Amino acid sequence: MKLIIGSRGSKLALAQTYYIKNLLEKIDEDIEVEIKIVKTRGDVDQKAPISQLGLGVFTKELDIKMLNYEIDIAVHSLKDVPTVWNEDLTIAATPERESYHDVLVYSKDVNIEDSIIVGTSSIRRRAFLSLKYPGMRIAPLRGNIDTRLKKLRDGKYQGIVVAEAGLRRLKIDLDALNLSYRILDIPPAPAQGVIGVAARKEDKEIIKLLKKINDSKTYLESTAERWALKTYGEGCQAPFGALARYCIEGEELHLTCSVVDLEKGRIVSEDGKIRCDIEDVKGAKRLAKYIGSRLKEKIES
């Protein structure tokens, strides 16, 4: 079987795509994999805030290529995939999750207990940081990890916020760059640290193949987080964080969601749990719908 995988051209996107390529080649030595780079709107427009570019800014062009049969599957950072998506496409696999944490990367000669300028353009990160770390001065910053690290080292910022998963997947040696990092106490984006492999729903043979690289725990947890956001109803640009954890021994899924109420300057949270089998995606969705609805009620009350 020959598979054409669509990927963005950034170092992180390609690292994730080659990871999927290697997984597929390990399960079937007869698979021939070709990687096709696709530029998305988010890659072309590096200056405009993500919130102004709309949903699917890093995925839409890949989706179109898939629907036009120019690629067979697409590799995404699952947090970038809109919760309301094309009905002809599906997330067929989510390999084991990397770290879900956001981290502050900073120069070793900076005292982060002082008021420092921190770069991030994420609405979620900006909103939670402003309440959790009021001493930080948040400044807009877009670009891939290399671009952001360069601006940090050039002194344009004293700290930047990135996903720990990205640092790990790119094997970035912060010590060699005279940089340190600290895990931040803010809720992650739904499905942060998760790679989502998308396929056309009609391609049953490809989906069957992709299921062999799927991690059921990751799939269950990321489904719960994304369905909570979908229920809340603000799309992936909301100051919304979610984390689901599945306990295999107790067969219990726990979900915590938080959102920043920008008008009242507060963080509102809701959590709950459900007993379910690791393959019980419907159970995860039920829990997520309940948590998302309760959170929305709290914000509106």
More reliable by pLDDT, 113 or 203: 203
Residue 78 shares a structural domain with residue 32: yes
- Contact (Cβ atoms closer than 8 angstroms) between residue 175 and residue 183: no
Provide the β-strand partners of residue 242. Answer: 257
pLDDT above 80 (res 49): no
- For the annotated catalytic residues, the residue numbers are 80
Assign residue 56 the CATH number of its domain: 3.40.190.10
Q: Could you tell me if residue 188 is inside a domain?
A: no
Q: In which domain, by residue range, is 251 found?
A: 215-301
Mean predicted confidence (pLDDT) in 79-89: 91
Alpha-carbon distance values, 188 to 141, 162, 204 (Å): 18, 11, 32
Give the model confidence (pLDDT) of 95-120 as tens digits.
Answer: 999 999 999 999 988 888 888 999 99
Rg (CA), the chain: 19
> Do 116 and 243 lie in a common domain?
no
Residue 53 maps to a domain: yes
The per-residue pLDDT for 238 is 76
Say if residue 6 is in the same domain as residue 39.
yes
* Torsion angle, alpha carbons of 61, 62, 67, 68, to 10: 70
Mark whether 89 and 5 lie in a shared domain.
yes
Q: Is 3:73 a contact under the CB 8 Å cutoff?
A: yes
- Same domain for 37 and 90, yes or no, is yes
CATH number for the domain including 248?
3.30.160.40
Mean pLDDT of 185-191: 97
Same domain, 210 and 220: no
Domain count, the chain: 3
Are 82 and 103 in contact, with CB atoms under 8 Å apart?
A: no
Q: Is residue 189 part of a domain?
A: no
Q: What is the DSSP string of 166-181?
A: HHHHTT--TGGGTEEE
* C-alpha separations of 298 from 1, 15, 175, 261 in Å: 51, 40, 44, 10
Q: Are residues 27 and 174 in the same domain?
A: no
User: 29 and 42 share a domain?
Assistant: yes
Closest CA to 222 of 128, 100, 122: 100
Residue 265 in this model has a pLDDT that exceeds 80: yes
In a domain, 123, yes or no: yes
pTM above 0.85, yes or no: yes
Q: Report the chain's mean pLDDT, rounded to a whole number.
A: 91
Structure-token pair, residue 261: 């109420």
123 shares a domain with 265: no
- Model confidence band, residue 153 (pLDDT cutoffs 50, 70, 90): very high
